[in-house]
């Protein structure tokens, strides 16, 4: 088994970050039994948004120094590596795999209505997207349709500046990524960051984007009763921070659901505004962010991945977590990544904190998506 090569660094300039990454990568690539660069393997590159304007330069320095050309990645307001999270500093994380170029195909969708995705019998795909693009969800749909049998993971870039992506080379596409063939073995799972409160409800009345009634009763009154019972109080002033809407995924139990924001209230009409299109007959429930529940569900996910690996030792991992997780939910000192490390040890891992997480054929929020390469 070839363990993947991992390097991550923070510094005051893109040149200094690149120099640190290159030194650490070369040490591993030149070691006996390491990854063979002659196979043009898949490489991951994630940069914090403090390096977003210099991302193309950083990519060029890495490519020139290593001779590696197949780079996949994007920007995040935070990036992660084994047991480590980087926020609010110029930093980058790189992982060089042993997956040869013959096992994957890159794609870029400048416009999802145009060709750009190779049709494939692939079993697995990884996709990044620009959250500013109105075509991201269409791109997600098209990528999933292109996979006869498969599962897609990834996430939307997060940044306070530009939104670079890498798919072979730098791109500013609506979305980009790659499709892996069935020679690459993976296990992937999703963990939630919110816990349901109250009962499930049926949407019984909508007007435009306003949710007026649940189960024939005022939506705002239902929300206030349930959230007040769980959190102590609820008002128009704190509605955005105290609770969310959970939308069960069809065909699954309550453990799999999409979380969407409550964006406001209409007190005179006792209505709610939800950041997701709803229709009468839809099922939903309210939920809240909860650190203890998030830790418990993360541990549950890690154990499921470990058991599903059937004793096969992992080579490396990719982790895409919501920007609202990390230090904003688990606390400082890289607690979320250290929890993963407590189960998988010093397994090479890279990833980023996203503006939306992709698992299977859906765009989630407030979740973490772990993929382990076997």
pLDDT in tens, 124-145: 999 999 999 998 988 898 888 8
Residue 81 burial class via C-beta count within 10 angstroms: exposed 0-12, middle 13-18, buried 19 and up: buried
pLDDT in tens, 333-352: 999 999 999 999 999 999 99
Report which of residues 33 and 108 the model is more confident about: 108
Q: Which residues are 80's β-sheet partners?
A: 85, 351
Q: What is the pLDDT at residue 328?
A: 94
What is the arithmetic mean of pLDDT over 298-316? Answer: 95
- Which of 5-9, 78-82, 175-179, 234-238 shows the lowest per-residue confidence on average (mean pLDDT)? 234-238
| Ordered alpha helix ranges (H), the chain | 14-29, 55-66, 136-146, 219-231, 239-242, 291-308, 335-344
The 10s digit of each residue's pLDDT in 22-54 is 999 999 998 887 788 888 899 999 999 999 999
Query: Burial code of 185-200, b = ≥16 C-beta within 10 A, e = fewer?
Result: ebbbbbbbbbbbbbee
Structure tokens at 223: 């929300």
Cα 56 to Cα 64, 89, 170, distances in angstroms: 12, 18, 6
What is the per-residue pLDDT across 184-201, written as a single tens digit (0 to 9) for each? 999 999 999 988 888 999
Task: At 339, list the tokens.
Answer: 């929890």
Q: What is the pLDDT of residue 236?
A: 45
Task: With beta carbons less than 8 A apart as the criterion, state whether 155 and 369 touch.
Answer: yes
List 217's β-bridge partners, or say none: 214
The pLDDT, as a whole number, for residue 252 is 62
Q: Residue 290's CB: how many other CB atoms inside 10 A? A: 18
How much of the chain exceeds pLDDT 90, in percent?
73
> Quick check: 354 and 366 in contact, CB under 8 A?
no
Give the pLDDT of residue 355: 98
The tokens describing 143, both together, are 């990528």
Helix (H, G, I), strand (E, B) or coil at 9: strand
For residue 254, what pLDDT is reported? 45
Task: Judge whether residue 158 has pLDDT over 60.
Answer: yes
State residue 101's pLDDT score: 93
- pLDDT band for 58, please (50, 70, 90 cuts): very high
Does residue 234 register a pLDDT over 50?
A: no
- In three-state form (DSSP H/G/I as H, E/B as E, the rest C), the secondary structure along 87-115 is ECCCEEEEEECCCCHHHEEEEEECCCCCC
pLDDT of 37 reads: 81
The mean of the pLDDT values for the chain is 91
**What pLDDT was estimated at residue 156?**
99
Residues 109-136 have a mean pLDDT of 77
DSSP for 144-202 reads: HHHBSS-EEEEEE---SS---EEEEEEE--SEEEEEE-TTS-EEEEEEESEEEEEEEEE
- Is residue 240 pLDDT above 90, yes or no? no
pTM for the model stands at 0.90
- Give the rounded percent of residues in the chain with a pLDDT score beyond 70: 91
Element spanning 10, H or E:
strand 5-10
Please compute the mean of the pLDDT values over residues 315-334 and round it to a whole number: 97
């Amino acid at each position: 088994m070839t363990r993947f090569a991992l390097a991550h660094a923070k510094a005051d300039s893109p040149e200094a970050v690149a120099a640190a990454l290159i030194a650490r990568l070369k040490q591993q690539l030149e070691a006996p039994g390491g990854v063979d660069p002659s196979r043009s393997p898949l490489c991951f590159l994630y940069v914090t948004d403090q390096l977003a304007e210099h991302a193309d330069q950083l990519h060029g320095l890495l490519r020139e120094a290593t001779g590696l050309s197949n780079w996949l990645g994007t920007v995040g307001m935070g990036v992660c590596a084994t047991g480590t999270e980087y926020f609010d500093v110029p930093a980058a994380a790189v992982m060089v795999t042993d997956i040869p170029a013959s096992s994957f195909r890159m794609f870029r969708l400048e416009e999802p209505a145009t060709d750009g995705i190779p049709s494939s019998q692939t079993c697995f795909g990884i996709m990044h997207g620009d959250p500013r693009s109105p075509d991201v969800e269409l791109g997600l749909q098209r990528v999933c349709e292109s996979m006869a049998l498969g599962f897609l993971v990834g996430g939307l870039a997060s940044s306070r500046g530009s939104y670079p992506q890498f798919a072979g080379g730098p791109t500013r596409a609506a979305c980009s990524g790659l499709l892996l063939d069935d020679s690459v073995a993976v296990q992937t799972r999703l963990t939630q960051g919110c816990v349901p409160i109250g009962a499930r409800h049926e949407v019984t009345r909508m007007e435009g984007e306003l949710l007026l009634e649940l189960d024939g009763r005022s939506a705002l009154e239902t929300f206030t009763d349930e959230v007040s019972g769980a959190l102590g109080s609820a008002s128009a002033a704190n509605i955005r921070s105290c609770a969310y809407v959970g939308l069960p995924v069809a065909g699954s139990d309550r453990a799999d659901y999409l979380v969407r924001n409550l964006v406001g209230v209409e007190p005179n009409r006792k209505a709610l505004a939800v950041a997701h299109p709803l229709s009468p007959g839809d099922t939903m429930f309210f939920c809240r962010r909860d650190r203890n529940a998030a830790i418990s569900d993360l541990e549950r996910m890690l154990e499921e991945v470990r058991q599903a690996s059937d004793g096969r030792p992992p080579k490396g991992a990719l982790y895409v977590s919501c920007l609202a997780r990390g230090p904003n939910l688990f606390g400082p000192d890289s607690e979320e990544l250290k929890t993963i490390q407590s189960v998988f040890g010093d397994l090479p891992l890279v990833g980023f904190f996203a503006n939306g997480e992709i698992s299977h054929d859906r765009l989630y929020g407030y979740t973490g998506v772990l993929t382990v390469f076997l």
